[in-house]
Amino acid sequence: MRVLATVLLSCVLGTCCLAADDDLFSAAEAAFKAGEFATAATLFEQALQAGDDSTALRYNLGVVYFRQGQLAAARQNFESLLDDEGFADWARYNIALIDRQQGNGDDARDGFAVVARTSSDAALAALATQQLQTGSARASTKPTLSGSLSLAGGYNDNVVDPVDIAGTDRGDHFIEIVGTVSTRWGDTKSPWHANAIGYVSRYDDIRAYNVSLFAGGVGRAFQLHDWQLDGGVEYRHLLLDDSGYLGEAAAKITATHALPWQSEFRINYEFASINSLNDDYDMLAGDVHRLNIDLTRDDHGPWYGQLRYRMQLDDRADRETPTSYTSFSALRHEVGGRVGRRWGPVDVSVDAGFRHSRFLNDNVLPGLGAIRRKDKLLRVGGIAQWRLDDHWTVIGEARYSDNRSTVDFYDYQQLEFTLGVERTF
């Protein structure tokens, strides 16, 4: 088995190559040298699925995962080599580099110190010593910029009114455009980040429900014991039919904790203050509390999955007329899950969720009197993604929703299909 080590001070060290299949080795090496890390990862994953669980392959996977920013998967592969005499020192050094990237400065320094003190490889020990002397375990990060742009088209067989959240019994074709951009800067232990997103959907005929969203925010990540915390603020500006709709100012905090078996627990809380940008939507103004809890397992093998819980408490102004009252304030609970399977560059997942909504005030309807609205919403869907290369992905999605309400007006079933392409940079 051949091993090629390329020493770089600021990234994971080395590439390894598979001798079991020279064609696969050559293709993976060429992809890596060309910077096509996703392609290289796909080739190595194919070898793993074919039964090759060699130490060289695991080292290879660690390298390409790191180059793609998949630090948890990279760490897993390097940690599996700590008991291997031929790879232990290199793996420990690389883990220290990952610790530095994730802001775990103390762990990074400890890792470099062990390699500098115990490694029999003089060149590697010198590199570890240099890392300690330059203090790179707590270096500042250079500003990074990333983003994506996607275009999709589809068909919705029952367009839902975005204000009343009721079906219209009208189908229509639509297009969607989504653009995102984000940047990070500051020291590696507590980096700052900023993000912006733009979303536009346009229907062929039902133009009154065209939605545009523009949002931007800033936040900072920091470490607290074994928890990774991230807090920030964000503003969202929504247009409906190209006219003012809602403005939303939010403050949020997220806490993430790594669990055994390549699992992750995440909890997010957000408080948002919503203002109406048009007198027609004054009833939607108010405050919203959102709580999201996720348990995810993904070892970057073929299978992955997620369980989720969502809670949302709306305190809106509601709508009152001389003869009626409509409540938009509700307490919503949702549980759901997702399971997916990868076949090289193809990723297929299915998702299901159930949401129960109880509105806080009775609806008063002409001729019907007071009715407390309660909704039960079932949603199922599937997504197929085909990664063409490191930047381009084709995405297809199908979604079905079935909402049953104590107020018949809000009953609806909806089936939606989309097909699009995404470009990352």
Last residue of one domain, picked from the residues 114, 138, 162: 138
My answer on whether 321 and 223 are in the same domain is: yes
My answer on whether 236 and 374 are in the same domain is: yes
Last residue of one domain, picked from the residues 115, 138, 161: 138
What CATH number does residue 42 fall under?
1.25.40.10
My answer on whether 122 and 223 are in the same domain is: no
What CATH number does residue 234 fall under?
2.40.160.40
Question: Using CA atoms, how far apart are residues 96 and 352, in angstroms rounded to an integer?
Answer: 39
My answer on whether 322 and 372 are in the same domain is: yes
Residue 350's closest CA among 362, 341, 358?
Answer: 341
My answer on whether 150 and 122 are in the same domain is: no
Give the per-residue pLDDT at 397: 98
My answer on whether 326 and 190 are in the same domain is: yes
Q: Are strands 303-316 and 15-16 parallel, antiparallel or unpaired?
A: unpaired
My answer on whether 206 and 241 are in the same domain is: yes
pLDDT exceeds cutoff 90 at 391? no
My answer on whether 237 and 313 are in the same domain is: yes
Q: Which domain holds residue 404?
A: 141-424
My answer on whether 292 and 384 are in the same domain is: yes
Residue 230's closest CA among 194, 272, 176?
Answer: 194
Strand pairing partners for 343? 346
Mean pLDDT of 215-236: 91
My answer on whether 18 and 111 are in the same domain is: yes
**Does 103 or 284 have the greater pLDDT score?**
284
My answer on whether 416 and 364 are in the same domain is: yes
3-state SS, residue 47: helix
Give the per-residue pLDDT at 11: 41
My answer on whether 262 and 404 are in the same domain is: yes
Query: What is the number of structural domains in the chain?
Result: 2
DSSP characters over 69-92 = T-HHHHHHHHHTTTT-TTTHHHHH
Q: At 7, is the pLDDT very low, low, confident or very high (cuts 50, 70, 90)? A: very low
Give the per-residue pLDDT at 407: 87
Contact criterion met (CB below 8 Å) for 414 and 145:
no
Question: Lowest-confidence range among 104-113, 212-221, 347-356?
Answer: 104-113
87 residue type, one letter: F
Last residue of one domain, picked from the residues 113, 138, 163: 138
pTM check: above 0.75: no
